[in-house]
A and B are shown apart, each in its own frame.
Chain A
Amino acid sequence: MNKSLRFLIVLVPIIIFTFFANVLLIEEDEKFSKFNTKNFPSFELNDLNGIPVKYEYLDGIKLVNVWASWCITCLVEHPFLTKLSDANIQIVGLNYKDSNNKASAWLQKHGNPYIFSIYDPRGDLAFDLGVTGAPESYLVIDNQVVAHIQGEMTSKKWETIFYPLIKKASNET
């Protein structure tokens, strides 16, 4: 059989693999920059104490964290959120499909990193926001959702996705 054909049998897979490796590595860097910013949806909900939450409460830089007392991963990311709130990051909880009693008890037991938690038992706001489950975190700057992650908030995700955006936003103002 032809020599160049033999060469191709090896070369073609190498090209394919290199291509995929490239796509994989590029995607990692660019993923969050491709996020389409959108307005934070309007809502009429109370916080866990029954006080109506105003839309203006989301002005400034806020990390909106979707959580629930039934959610295990929320407990896993809880220490990290506490650390963030100790570092003066304002975290707004979105209590998702939960009961008020259980949620309050959960916060009392594990500590409350949130400035307040929006109580969304039916998941109305969560639906408009595009929540698929708990936990999820949204970065909201001046009522604009600028970044979104699903699953546990880790220091890596915080440092690569959220922190640069916060830094940029606070430099601009």
Chain B
Amino acid sequence: MIGEISHFLSLSAVVIFSLILIFNFFFFFGKIHPNQLSLSIRLFNQACWLVFISFAMYVYLAINDDFSIAYIASHSNSQLPIFYKISSIWSAHEGSMFLWIVFLTAWSIFFINSLDDSHSLKKTTLLMVSLIILGFLLFLLLTSNPFERLLPFGAIEGADINPVLQDPALAIHPPMLYLGYVGFVISFSYITAYLFHGNFELEWEKDIKNWSLVAWIFLTIGITLGSWWAYYELGWGGYWFWDPVENVALMPWLAATAFMHSLYASSKSSVLKTWTMFLGILIFALSLFGAFIVRSGIIDSVHSFANDPQRGLYLLIFSGLITLLALGVFAYRIPSLNASKFVVSGSKESFLSMNNILMVTSIFSIFLGVTYPLIIEAINGEKVSIGPPYYNTIFTPLILITAIFIMASVDSLWQRSKPLKSYVYKTFFPVILSILFTYFVWHITETFSILSYIGIFSGLLILFTYLLRVLNNFFYKKFINKGSAIAHIGLGLLFLAVSLNSILSYEKNLYLAPGESIFVNESIKEFSFDDIKVLKASNHDVISVEVSLLQDGKNIILNPQKRKYATRGQITTESSIYASILKDTYLTIGDQLENGSWTFALKINYFIKWIWFSASLMVMGMLITIFKKKAT
């Protein structure tokens, strides 16, 4: 019964969103009625609430194990803790789409109600978001209905959530990511509305600035959590795999990062307005593209949901139309945007536009990497895969150029160039220090990989540039933009950590029987397989292994496990990690060999925690920027 009510509420929301659009469409040609806007707003708010209540009821159904609902029956189980019963909702396609829509609605309702009724863009923005929400609600109800019942009999017990998804990081990773993705519906709708109106006197940047910053924070946290989860739960042993689905999350992130830099420029001076608008549209278009890639199953990926061309086609057509609508009106309005075309080279604007170009180049490279296998397959039917080598080769030079421009751009001035002498003075120390440190790294590691050393050098360049500024601020009270400094130090650290990780980390496969012990290398003098046990837990059997290591003179005990889940029969590996500041010792067990010994995969990952730490620095920098804005 509650299931039907919940279903009905979503359907009602569809009806009301359609009403808003139809109603405004007819008034569009006629005279504007004074109550038109207030009626639209009221209808809009009610429709949004219907979506929220419908979702809340769905959560209630999941908590109370209503296994007559097909989706809940195949993704939840009565034995699960409540926390996972709720998170099972977004463990597969239908429910996660529902969550996506709820977030879309939430961002929209907050944003629309934050605008004054007298705001000239309120109505058009409202119509734009209504159209987008309506499109996705229809997609949900027509092609992937989570409310479907199992008829004539419901299931007695649910099939259980996929065990690898039973993890706190995963329970919050999709919501964070979705909050980020859909948050950019605001900039998208607002910019489109602005372009429709053609009232170019309006100062539009301030209305969407903080919304976009917050969405960026969610997106960053979402991506970072996903990477962390893959590392410690999935037993993949790495943090980033250039998997198509990771790539489609990275593209909106890069676009969003460029957008925010560009927004900063266009709110200070009138240049780069066209760029900023284009990027604002691009972010959400890329989010839509990502949703299409993930949910159509067009590309094989670890994240793909079930293959369904019908879904793919709907999403493709819908997101295509929305994107074309926005880009079309953008292209039409470009001549009348009359942004000042003249950018002084060496001014802050010139560096920011360079930043835009670099970011768009990165997006394009990733886009090419994602689509290239499809293009090749369409041409000659061969399956190719594009992996890390492609991305590493493409990105390393881009990173170096980015680092050089970041270094040059600090202290640059709006609309004015600085004398060449000041650049030499400013860049002298960072460059010298970076060269020395890179040489130092090479000296102690004695490995050589040109790409990694370029990465290290670039990371150091950014780090030293900003660290010197921090020192300047500390001793000479020179002005420093704290948020920006922290975020960029995070970026430098990220480049550094990723590069060091790639040259220092290594992997060893070991074969041992219980009771045996071996010498691995100078750092790990002893690796002994102490014990193996089979344990029973509530919903799975565990093979638990105890291994002790003598690493760098310290004794470490590791407990990797293999779990076999009863309901799904799935086997998962639980890696065991010993973490120190510089490196992680990461151990997983493989299969038993015929002679009774077991295979172990031992990975020594250097600087891996630094990667997530640097992502948190970026988030922190952004938070400081937001709160500083609020304060002034």
> Which B residues from 323 to 376 make CB contacts under 8 A with A?
323-324, 327-328, 330-332, 334-335, 371, 374-375
Give complex CA distance A1, B313 in Å: 34
Q: Would B334 and A27 count as touching, CB distance under 8 A?
A: no
A28 within 8 A of B: yes
Smallest CB separation, A23 vs chain B (Å):
5
| Contact residues in A for B306 (Cβ distance below 8 Å) | 151
Q: Would A26 and B324 count as touching, CB distance under 8 A?
A: no
Give complex CA distance A73, B569 in Å: 16
Interface SS, A side: helix
Q: Would B324 and A10 count as touching, CB distance under 8 A?
A: yes
Given A1-B334, A6-B331, A23-B298: A13 in contact with B320 (beta carbons within 8 A): yes
Give complex CA distance A76, B150 in Å: 8
Give complex CA distance A23, B376 in Å: 11
Which of A7, A17, A123 counts the most chain B CB atoms within 10 A?
A: A17
- Option from A20, A71, A97, A151 in Cβ contact (under 8 Å) with B159: A71
- Option from A1, A20, A23 in Cβ contact (under 8 Å) with B274: A1
B296 within 8 A of A: yes
Q: 1/0 per residue B310-329: CB within 8 Å of A?
A: 00110011001001100110
> Which A residues from 81 to 118 make CB contacts under 8 A with B?
96-97
- Option from B150, B274, B320 in Cβ contact (under 8 Å) with A17: B320
Q: Would A24 and B155 count as touching, CB distance under 8 A?
A: no
Q: Would B569 and A123 count as touching, CB distance under 8 A?
A: yes
Q: 1/0 per residue B142-159: CB within 8 Å of A?
A: 000000001001010101
> Which B residues from 89 to 137 make CB contacts under 8 A with A?
none
Give complex CA distance A144, B538 in Å: 40
Q: Would A10 and B327 count as touching, CB distance under 8 A?
A: yes
> Which A residues from 33 to 81 make CB contacts under 8 A with B?
70-73, 75-76
A21 within 8 A of B: yes
Given A10-B327, A14-B324: A28 in contact with B334 (beta carbons within 8 A): no
Given A17-B316, A28-B309, A72-B73: A22 in contact with B378 (beta carbons within 8 A): yes
Give complex CA distance A86, B371 in Å: 46
B74 within 8 A of A: yes
Given A6-B331, A72-B73: A24 in contact with B378 (beta carbons within 8 A): no
Q: Which residue of B lies closest to A31 (CB)?
A: B307
Given A6-B331, A10-B324: A133 in contact with B568 (beta carbons within 8 A): yes
B292 within 8 A of A: yes
Q: Would A24 and B320 count as touching, CB distance under 8 A?
A: no
Q: Would B155 and A9 count as touching, CB distance under 8 A?
A: no
| Contact residues in B for A133 (Cβ distance below 8 Å) | 568-569
| Contact residues in B for A7 (Cβ distance below 8 Å) | 331
Give complex CA distance A123, B570 in Å: 11
| Contact residues in A for B292 (Cβ distance below 8 Å) | 20
Give complex CA distance A17, B322 in Å: 12
| Contact residues in B for A24 (Cβ distance below 8 Å) | 296, 298, 309, 312-313, 316
| Contact residues in A for B73 (Cβ distance below 8 Å) | 72
Smallest CB separation, A12 vs chain B (Å):
9
| Contact residues in A for B378 (Cβ distance below 8 Å) | 19, 22-23, 26
Given A17-B320, A24-B316, A133-B568: A73 in contact with B74 (beta carbons within 8 A): yes
B438 within 8 A of A: no
| Contact residues in B for A13 (Cβ distance below 8 Å) | 285, 320, 323-324, 327
- Option from A19, A72, A123 in Cβ contact (under 8 Å) with B155: A72
Smallest CB separation, B296 vs chain A (Å):
6
Q: Which residue of A lies closest to B311 (CB)?
A: A24
Smallest CB separation, A149 vs chain B (Å):
10
Q: Would B150 and A27 count as touching, CB distance under 8 A?
A: no
Q: Would A70 and B331 count as touching, CB distance under 8 A?
A: no
Smallest CB separation, A67 vs chain B (Å):
13
Give complex CA distance A146, B313 in Å: 28
B502 within 8 A of A: no
B567 within 8 A of A: yes
- Option from B309, B334, B374 in Cβ contact (under 8 Å) with A25: B309
Q: Which residue of B lies closest to A96 (CB)?
A: B569
| Contact residues in A for B330 (Cβ distance below 8 Å) | 9
Smallest CB separation, A16 vs chain B (Å):
8
Given A10-B327, A13-B320, A20-B292: A97 in contact with B74 (beta carbons within 8 A): no
Smallest CB separation, B178 vs chain A (Å):
22
Give complex CA distance A7, B335 in Å: 12
Given A10-B331, A97-B569, A123-B569: A20 in contact with B298 (beta carbons within 8 A): yes
Give complex CA distance A48, B316 in Å: 47
Give complex CA distance A59, B143 in Å: 39
Give complex CA distance A163, B163 in Å: 36
| Contact residues in A for B569 (Cβ distance below 8 Å) | 96-97, 123, 133
Q: Which residue of B lies closest to A76 (CB)?
A: B150
Give complex CA distance A144, B246 in Å: 37
| Contact residues in A for B567 (Cβ distance below 8 Å) | 70
Given A17-B320, A21-B316, A72-B73: A9 in contact with B331 (beta carbons within 8 A): yes
| Contact residues in B for A151 (Cβ distance below 8 Å) | 306
Give complex CA distance A96, B570 in Å: 12
Q: Which residue of A lies closest to B321 (CB)?
A: A17
Q: Which residue of B lies closest to A8 (CB)?
A: B331
Q: Would B328 and A10 count as touching, CB distance under 8 A?
A: yes
- Option from A19, A20, A72 in Cβ contact (under 8 Å) with B150: A72
| Contact residues in A for B323 (Cβ distance below 8 Å) | 13
Give complex CA distance A40, B67 in Å: 36
Q: Would B309 and A27 count as touching, CB distance under 8 A?
A: yes
Q: Which residue of A lies closest to B569 (CB)?
A: A97
| Contact residues in B for A72 (Cβ distance below 8 Å) | 70, 73-74, 150, 155, 159
Smallest CB separation, A32 vs chain B (Å):
12
| Contact residues in B for A25 (Cβ distance below 8 Å) | 309, 313
Give complex CA distance A110, B278 in Å: 59
Q: Which residue of A lies closest to B154 (CB)?
A: A72
Give complex CA distance A153, B6 in Å: 29
| Contact residues in A for B371 (Cβ distance below 8 Å) | 19
Give complex CA distance A22, B298 in Å: 11
Smallest CB separation, A17 vs chain B (Å):
4
Q: Would B157 and A21 count as touching, CB distance under 8 A?
A: no
Q: Which residue of B lies closest to A17 (CB)?
A: B320
Smallest CB separation, B364 vs chain A (Å):
11
Closest CB pairs A-B (n = 8): A17-B320, A6-B331, A72-B155, A97-B569, A9-B331, A28-B309, A1-B334, A24-B312
- Enumerate 25 A-B pairs (CB-CB under 8 Å) in ascending A order: A1-B334, A1-B335, A6-B331, A6-B332, A6-B334, A9-B330, A10-B324, A10-B328, A13-B285, A13-B323, A13-B324, A17-B316, A19-B378, A20-B292, A20-B298, A21-B317, A23-B298, A24-B312, A27-B298, A27-B309, A70-B159, A70-B567, A72-B73, A76-B150, A151-B306
13 more CB-based (< 8 A) A-B contacts, given A24-B316, A123-B569: A1-B274, A1-B334, A6-B332, A10-B324, A10-B331, A13-B320, A13-B323, A21-B313, A27-B309, A28-B309, A72-B73, A72-B150, A72-B155
Which residues from chain A sit less than 8 Å from chain B, CB to CB? Answer: 1, 6-7, 9-10, 13-14, 17, 19-28, 70-73, 75-76, 96-97, 123, 133, 151
